[in-house]
Structure 1
Amino acid sequence: MSRPQLAEARRVRAVELFGRGLSNSDIAQMVGVHAESVRHWRRAWDNGGAQALRRRPAPGRRPKWDEAQVEQVRVALEQGAQAHGFEADLWTLEWVGLVVEQVTAVTLSRATVWRLLTGRLGWSLQRPERRAVERDETEIARWIAYEWPRIKGR
C-alpha cells in the first residue's frame, strides 16, 4: 500500500470512528496520528462529508506522456541496448534518453531520465561485477581448500 493510500485509509477509519462519538484524542491514538490531525479531519468531514477526506491527485505539472507511452518505453528498454544499436548491452542515462526520444518524440534531461527509470519504471542502479571471463569458481574453491593450507603450513 502506498503512502497516499495508507493516509487515506487512516482518514476513512477516522470517519468510521467519528460515528461512534469518540474523542479526537481517542481516535488519534487508535489511528496512529496526532490529535490535531484528527481535529482537522473532523472539521473537513463536518464541512464536506467523507468525500472531503478522499485522496486527491498530486498537484503539479502533468507528466509529459501517458501510461501507454511509458509502457512503450519499458518494452523498448527491455529489448536491451544492443537491440537499439548500442555496442554494449548495459544502459546509460544518455542511451535511455535517446531511446525515449525515438519512442515518444520527447527529449528528457539526464535527471528526468533517472526519475523515469527509478520512479515510473521502478528500475534501480545496477553495476556489472568486474570479473575475469576466465574465472573458474571450482578451481578457486579447490585451491583454497587444498593448496592454501599446504602453502600456509610451511
Structure 2
Amino acid sequence: MLRLRAADMFSGGIQPPRVAHLLGVTRKSACEWHRTWQKGGKAALRSKGTAGTGCKLTDEQTDRLEALLAEGAAAHGWDDQRWTAARIALLIAETFHIHYTPRGVTYLLQRLGWSFQVPAHRAARRDEDQVATWVKRTWPAIKAPGRPGTPGSASPTSPARV
C-alpha cells in the first residue's frame, strides 16, 4: 500500500516531494499524506474501507430477493423470463419498500454473485444452411471493393508518387 510506504519514508526523514517522485504519485497526494501522518502517525494512513453506504437490504432480505429472482420474471407479472435491472429495482421497491436505481441493482447483483447474460437474438425460423450460402455467394458480390493497388492523392498540389 503506497500510503504506508510513504509513512515509512516520512519516518526516515524523506520530504513529500521526494516521496511523490519515488512512489510515482502527485506532490499534492504526498503532501496530504504527510499532513495526515503528522497528525495521526502511520495508523492514520491506513485504509478506512470502501466508500459508500453499503447494502440497503438486510441478509434476510437479500436471501428473499434471490428466492424471488429464482422464481423468474413471469411469476411476477412480466410476459417473459428476462430480469432487467429496472424490473429488479421495481421488484425490490414493491417487496421491501426500498428504492434502488437500476445501476444500484447491478452492483447488488454483482455482490450476490449473479452474472449478466445476453440472450442470442435469432429468428425462430432461421435456416443456417441458407444463411451460410448467402454469406458465401451473395455477400462477396455486394461487398465494397478494397483500395486500389496504386497510390493516389486527392490534393491537386500533391500528386501521387510513382
Pick the TM interval, shorter chain: 0.5 to 0.7
Match of 1:118 among 89, 106, 109: 106
| TM, length-normalised to structure 2 | 0.62
How many matched pairs? 138
Q: Secondary structure at the match of 1:86?
A: coil
Q: Which runs of 5+ in 2 are unaligned?
A: 143-162
**Aligned-CA RMSD value:** 3.5
* CA displacement at 1:73 relative to structure 2: 2.6
Q: Which residue does 1:134 correspond to in 2?
A: 125
Tell me, yes or no, if structure 1 residue 143 matches structure 2 residue 134.
yes
Return the alpha-carbon distance in structure 1 between the equivalents of residues 12 and 131 of structure 2: 69
- Of Structure 1 and Structure 2, the greater helix share is in 1
Return the alpha-carbon distance in structure 2 between the equivalents of residues 58 and 143 of structure 1: 54
Q: Which residue does 1:6 correspond to in 2?
A: none
Q: Which runs of 5+ in 1 are unaligned?
A: 1-8
1:34 partner letter: T
* CA displacement at 1:95 relative to structure 2: 3.1
Larger Rg: 2
2:134 partner letter: W
Return the alpha-carbon distance in structure 1 between the equivalents of residues 49 and 74 of structure 2: 38
Retained in 2: the 8 A contact 1:74–1:121? no
Tell me, yes or no, if structure 1 residue 81 matches structure 2 residue 69.
no
Higher relative contact order (CA 8 A, sep 6+): 1
| TM, length-normalised to structure 1 | 0.64
Q: Which residue does 1:100 correspond to in 2?
A: 92
